[in-house]
Amino acid sequence: MPAKTKKTTAGTRKITFSFRADGAKKVFLAGDFNHWNLSSHPMKLDRDGIWKRVLMLSPGRYEYKFRVDDQWQTDPDNPQQCGNTFGTRNHVIIITP
């Protein structure tokens, strides 16, 4: 699901990342915002079977991916992508001021 944004004070925005991964046991969000740390942003499964994570992000451009049961997964709902140094694709989200 595309990331949803909500304006907050001090220039940061509340961003909700969501991802459907039927049958997944664990899902993490990794990207520029957490130095690609595979454990710092675990996602939570909601009642509708969607994994979600809310972050407070400052304006800027961020690359990200999902880590689903130890496998990298792309975001099927975000067409904004860029290449990475591993020869695969990352997704891009731009937070405006």
Please list, in sequence order, all residues whose beta carbon lies within 8 angstroms of the beta carbon of residue 23, skipping any fewer than 6 positions away. Answer: none
Question: Could you report the per-residue pLDDT of 3-43, keeping only the tens digit for each?
Answer: 665 554 568 999 999 999 999 999 999 999 999 999 999 99
Question: Could you report the per-residue pLDDT of 72-83, keeping only the tens digit for each?
Answer: 999 999 999 999
Residue with tokens 């664990």: 26
pTM metric for this prediction: 0.85
